[in-house]
Structure 1
Amino acid sequence: MRWIVRSTAALCAVLLLSPVTPATAASPIGMTSGWYVNPGSAPATWVQNNPNDSRRTQIQNSISTKPIARWFGNDANIASTVANYTGAADGQDKLPVLVAYNIPNRDACGGHSGGGAGSAGAYRTWIASFAAGIGAKPAVVIIEPDALAAYGCLTQAQRDEMAGLLKYATEQFKAKAPNTYAYLDAGNAGWGTPSTIAYRLNEAGVANIRGFSVNVSNYYTTSQSITYANQVNGFLPAAKPFVIDTSRNANGRNSDPNGWCNPAGAKLGVTAQTGGGAEMLLWVKTPGVSDGPCGIAPTTPAGTFNPDLAVRLINGT
């Protein structure tokens, strides 16, 4: 069903202007009839632009036609960009998955995806506009992958700033996007201890939103990720729902210390679904998009789609 009633202009105005409390907010899953497939994703664009490539059919059948999260970074028009994207999904009665990825000192440990907003004030403006762009439409949002797990690569002042910005983000989604399930990222099964991550989640305002995400852009199996998430929940004041990134986790994480960055042997995991041991299993990372100039794609920058990476994920090689 759609988030908005179109029967009369008067009723429409009432719905838009009236505050929605947590008690009356609906589940975005129940408000929609399935997952939104982004026609402008990197693999979909590659498929469209390469009609004669021998890899096209595989990538189209296995990746570009599947529900994949869209990542949003620095954008002066973020409110309208997000509004247009979630509006397109709502027009199809589908549920979009978005990733907010613009916090200052982003990717502090890996460095390949560094950047983010230029200041704390700029980030507050950006994330408030992001939430407002969703408004009352149904959506799922993953908030700032790796931010909490990367505290060890930050100074104390940077940690304090990041915690405050993440808490502000949770407050914005709670206030401005009542039909959004938002999840703070909580790292993965091989990065940080559950008790430490739980402390950081609590400090960053996880109580304000739906829950937390694990394994974003990583390779740990679903069962490993469930175990880790349940351990994190054991240290929270109240257990929270969690989602798992299954985009590349079918074969698990290899033993290479650098196995987080375009490793050989990774394979596509199960596509988006509710349940499966978590609240949702999602493709958060876009399969075929490089983690950085490393591993089996040593010349492909982070965020760039590489069809050879995509085919290797399809085949598990």
Structure 2
Amino acid sequence: MPSAPASPSSPARTRRRRMPRALVIAMIVVAALVVVGAVVAASIGVSSALRSLGAQPPAVGTRIVVPAEAPAATASEDASATADERAAAAYLAAQPTAFWLTPEKEPIGEVGARVAHLASQAREQDATLAIVVYGLPGRDCGNHSAGGLDEADYATWTAEIGQALQVARDVRQIVILEPDSLALSDECGNLADRSRQLGGAIDALAGTDTWIYLDGGHSTWHTAAKMAEIIRATGLYDRVRGFSTNVSNYNAASAEFDYAHALASALGGGHAIIDTSRSGAGTNGEWCNPEGRLVGEPGGTFGDEVVDTNLWIKPPGESDGECNGGPAAGVWWPQAAVELTREVR
């Protein structure tokens, strides 16, 4: 006859063996590690997925957006212009060219919408968004492109740009950050201030598939060793993709290519973007509206392990400043557009 089941009060039902405290702690730690591992794996999976969707730096063949808002587009329809001036403007309006964001034209409260619109055009054109952020306090040290914001407003302005870029993360983004800001810092005497301000801008603008380039001067300004010293002193170089060279200048692409390699070597590595918008005839030693210049190599023409590629960064046809007969900096100058395009139209 089988024995009766133990009653609820019997020792067989109430007595439990306790696990050693050390074993309990070990099990909790293992469980926590499993959870953390799952989170990390998920994060890696997301990052891998983003890379597979095209999170790649600029390279040979990169095509940037043709902005409908370019001054050349408006100039091409100017009934008061000559036939040559309209033809030059129409040619330049069709070229992929970076768009310059300045607080004078795209102020706080409006700049985000401009970035969103440019990103929409990039999607439609299956192109890369390329912007120049140009609003640093004390911009251009009071020279032809003087202006910019105070430090608090600059932080607000760049944060608005960054928020718009965040929404458009499906579009690859190139950011040329404050041309001339570092190469001019000796003259301005404010490298510490600029480093802090640029660091805040990098924080605001950085994100997946956003490639930021600091100012690297150009081949006929500072030596590579001097420019590297300035860039290193900012403490920002390891937070960006690299540096831009020849922005708004006229040096030949070959000279800038060599300079970019020398600067990257002096910095211990890194990458460059070269502006070839007005490099076609090389330099005559002048930087402000020199005569006889030409548009240069189309964007995406060349590159290697150091030079990501070349782009048109400075819009050809816009004045460098009130020099050699030109209007204010950034203003459309029909005569310059005609001269720059005389061999390609």
Q: TM-score, normalised by structure 1?
A: 0.83
Structure 1 unaligned residues grouped into runs of 5+? 1-17
Equivalent pair of 1:50/1:56 in contact (CA under 8 Å): no
Decide which moves more: 184-193 or 21-30: 21-30
Equivalent pair of 1:90/1:138 in contact (CA under 8 Å): no
Q: Which structure shows the bigger proportion of residues in helix conformation?
A: 2
Change (3 A) 1:22 1:81: farther
- 1:138 is aligned to 2:172: yes
The ranges of structure 1 where at least 4 consecutive aligned residues each deviate by more than 3 angstroms after the TM superposition are 18-25
DSSP 3-state at the match of 1:192: coil
Selected match of 1:193 from 223, 226, 237: 223
CA distance in 2, matches of 1:216, 1:294: 18
Structure 2 unaligned residues grouped into runs of 5+? 1-42
DSSP 3-state at the match of 1:280: strand
What is residue 154 of structure 1 aligned with on the other side?
188
Alignment of 1:186-225 (within 5 A): 186-202=216-232, 203-225=234-256
What is residue 19 of structure 2 aligned with on the other side?
none
CA distance in 1, matches of 2:245, 2:67: 22
Equivalent pair of 2:277/2:316 in contact (CA under 8 Å): yes
CA deviations over 1:219-259 (Å, ceiling 9, x no partner):
1111110111111111213x11111110111111113xxx1
CA distance in 2, matches of 1:306, 1:81: 23
Alpha-carbon offset, residue 130 of structure 1: 1.2
Alignment of 1:1-317 (within 5 A): 24-25=50-51, 26-27=55-56, 34-50=63-79, 53-56=82-85, 58-60=87-89, 62-74=91-103, 75-77=107-109, 78-108=111-141, 111-117=143-149, 119-135=150-166, 136=169, 137-155=171-189, 158-174=190-206, 177-202=207-232, 203-237=234-268, 239-255=269-285, 259-273=286-300, 275-276=302-303, 278-295=307-324, 297-298=325-326, 300-315=327-342
CA distance in 1, matches of 2:47, 2:135: 28
Output the amino acid matched with 1:244.
I
DSSP 3-state at the match of 2:244: strand
Count of residues paired in the alignment: 286
Q: Percent identity?
A: 31
Equivalent pair of 1:68/1:283 in contact (CA under 8 Å): yes
Equivalent pair of 2:299/2:310 in contact (CA under 8 Å): yes
RMSD: 2.5
Equivalent pair of 1:186/1:197 in contact (CA under 8 Å): yes
Bigger radius of gyration, 1 or 2? 2
Output the amino acid matched with 1:83.
A
Equivalent pair of 2:77/2:86 in contact (CA under 8 Å): no
Change (3 A) 1:28 1:81: farther
CA deviations over 1:70-93 (Å, ceiling 9, x no partner):
100111122222122212222332
DSSP 3-state at the match of 1:55: helix
DSSP 3-state at the match of 2:262: helix
Alpha-carbon offset, residue 302 of structure 1: 0.9
CA distance in 1, matches of 2:62, 2:133: 24
